[in-house]
Amino acid sequence: MVNIKKQLVSQEVINKKSFGKGNKKKYVTVHQTGNTNQGANAQAHANLQSNMNSRDASWHYQADDKVIIQSFDDDIECWAASDGRGPGNTESIHVELCINSDGDYAKTIDNGAALVRHLLDKHNLDISRVKQHRDWYNKDCPAQLRAGHKGITWSDFLNKVEGVQEKENFGSSGGSSNSKPAAKDTNSIVDYLKSKGIDSSFSNRKKLASQHGIKNYSGTPAQNLALLDKMKKKGTQTSKPAQKGDMKTTSVVDYLKSINVDSSMANRKKLAAKHGIKNYKGTGPQNTQLLNKLRK
């Protein structure tokens, strides 16, 4: 379960830095703070909001590598999407991920994914309702996830959101692979695809759904079960990775995608360990080393 510290702002802050109650809670929007200064963690950003942010901006949650803090109730229409009274501000819950240089970036991403999963479950939303700030306004945010900083892409983040297990220890960077059901027994399309070494990202599942006649795939439970049933019936005949893959790319993520293998940070970490690359954190040199080993 997700542990959330509440430091709710005063009514005065709500009155001056938001549109007040009425949030329809149809989406969860992900941001990154843009502040790499040491100490610019979740507590610092929560304090900024509690003390009446000098900017006309507000958001519901902030997460770093150690803690998640809630500043506004979910039903408050915060000013985070830059779209005025558009759906970004009035229909979304906003999550800020800290990028302070003295924090563990990968753990912050894990914590953010756990929070987003919690919010989706809480408000009965599917993965298609997870948005970037960029979806509401022409701003490069969340910038680091969009750029694949430290080897973690937006697709990796969505993978993490879907891979969060109910019994997983919140805040840990370790997975829960030991508790996964066998592929034939699982009711999770994500777990099934991962067990077959197939990219389980939303974008790839959308392609697979289209191939199997499932129209307008948005990641709903019914669609996921339908896709799972079709994949199990079809077996592994079409899921074998290509032997060669993209030999021109210098990105291990793109290479893995080209051979239809899960390119998430968690799977790359497993592949790195198998190939003798210790303490894999997704750095540039580690990714190049892993790419070379996989090609061989």
Percent of the chain whose predicted confidence (pLDDT) is above 90: 50
Q: What does the pLDDT read at residue 168?
A: 40
Query: Is a pLDDT exceeding 90 seen at residue 13?
Result: yes
What distances in angstroms separate CA 24 from CA 28, 42, 125, 168, one per listed residue?
11, 25, 12, 29
Could you check whether the bond before residue 142 is cis, i.e. omega within 30 degrees of 0?
Answer: yes
What count of residues does the chain have? 296
- Quick: pLDDT tens for 147-160: 999 999 999 999 88
State how far the Cα of 152 lies from the Cα of 149, in Å rounded to an integer: 6
Tokens describing residue 194: 């991962």
pLDDT of residue 253: 85
Greater model confidence, 233 or 16: 16
Instruction: Give 259 or 135, the one with higher predicted confidence.
Output: 135
Higher-pLDDT residue of 156 and 182 is 156
Is the distance from CB of 59 to CB of 95 less than 8 angstroms?
yes
Distance CA 76, CA 144 (A): 27
Sign of the torsion formed by the C-alpha atoms of 30, 35, 37 and 41: negative
Tell me the whole-structure pTM to 2 decimals: 0.61
Least confident of 39-43, 167-171, 249-253: 167-171
Residues 189-224 have pLDDT tens digits of: 877 887 777 877 777 888 888 889 898 887 776 788
CA distance 7 to 14: 13
**pLDDT score recorded for residue 38:** 97
Query: Which range has the top average pLDDT, 46-60, 109-123, 270-284?
Result: 46-60
